Amino acid sequence: MAIEPILIDIIIVAVILIAAYVIINVINYFIKKTSEQFDLEITVTQVLQEIILYSIIIIAVIIILDFFGINITGLVLSLGILGIVVGFAARDTLSNFISGLFVLGTKSFKVGDFIEVSGQMGTVTKMGFRITNMVTIDNKAITIPNSIFSTDPLINYTALNKRRVELEITIPYELDLEDVIKSLEQKASMLNWALSETKPKVIVKELSDVGLNVTLNVWTNDPWNVTIYRSELAIEISKLLMHKKN
């Protein structure tokens, strides 16, 4: 029994899509293994895998359209106004792609870094050639177009190994200032995450109605846990001040 032509077309399209799927997975496997062998950053690996994904999808679509006798150039030209709209959309995509390449080239951040951009703070979980995914401290997923990184200021809180933990403190006027400052610095230096080579320092800022406002600066070589360390520091200093008052 003869096979219907439309069924043959469906089979051929299915074979092309399956082949594209297999090729994507095989190439991604080799990229992953190569990255592990040469210790490449996961950021580079993710971008390469995304480029491969979209490239093969585009090639597969072109092959399918060509199989059905559809000329890509003629199709684009015949779309007219729609082609212009697509062109504007492609411009944004190209802008995101170029910005992603600049981020990779300058190494502004990588997967695992804690960054802030456009008022959003979070840990980078994935970077593609169009968008970057982040997760906030309260476990919210954020998607940032890469073009934002070329227009807005970027703060990378974990780019350097050393990070300063700051705590604002008000020292009551009834306490001995020099004694309290000395006690604050000694207490902070006893924390297991505080760096010994860069000793804690109290900076006097201003006078207030209830006491002297100061900032206690403590350095750590674990920038990923600054929020936790600031909380620990606040608890210890609170206990110290309560003891001083009593």
**Per-residue tens of pLDDT for the chain, all 246 residues:** 445 677 877 888 899 899 999 998 998 888 888 877 766 667 677 777 877 888 888 888 888 888 887 766 665 555 554 455 545 555 566 666 667 667 777 778 888 899 999 889 999 998 877 788 999 988 999 999 888 888 889 999 888 888 999 999 999 999 998 999 999 999 999 999 999 888 999 999 998 888 999 999 999 999 888 989 999 999 999 999 998 887
Q: Specify if 207 maps to a domain.
A: yes
**Cβ-proximal residues to 154 (8 Å cutoff; 6+ apart), any chain:** 108, 109, 115, 116, 117
Q: Specify if 28 maps to a domain.
A: no
Q: Specify if 144 maps to a domain.
A: no
Q: Specify if 154 maps to a domain.
A: no
How many domains does one find in the chain? 1
Measure the CA–CA gap between 180 and 17, rounded to whole angstroms.
Answer: 71
Measure the CA–CA gap between 62 and 76, rounded to whole angstroms.
Answer: 12
For helices 81-106 and 42-67, give the axis angle rounded to 10 degrees. 160
Q: Specify if 168 maps to a domain.
A: yes
What letters, b where the CB count within 10 A reaches 16 and e where it falls short, cover 74-96?
eeeeeeeeeeeeeeeeeeebebb
Q: Specify if 7 maps to a domain.
A: no
Q: Specify if 169 maps to a domain.
A: yes
Q: What's the predicted TM-score (pTM) here?
A: 0.59
Query: What domain range is 175 assigned to?
Result: 163-245
Q: Specify if 171 maps to a domain.
A: yes
CATH of the domain at 224: 3.30.70.100
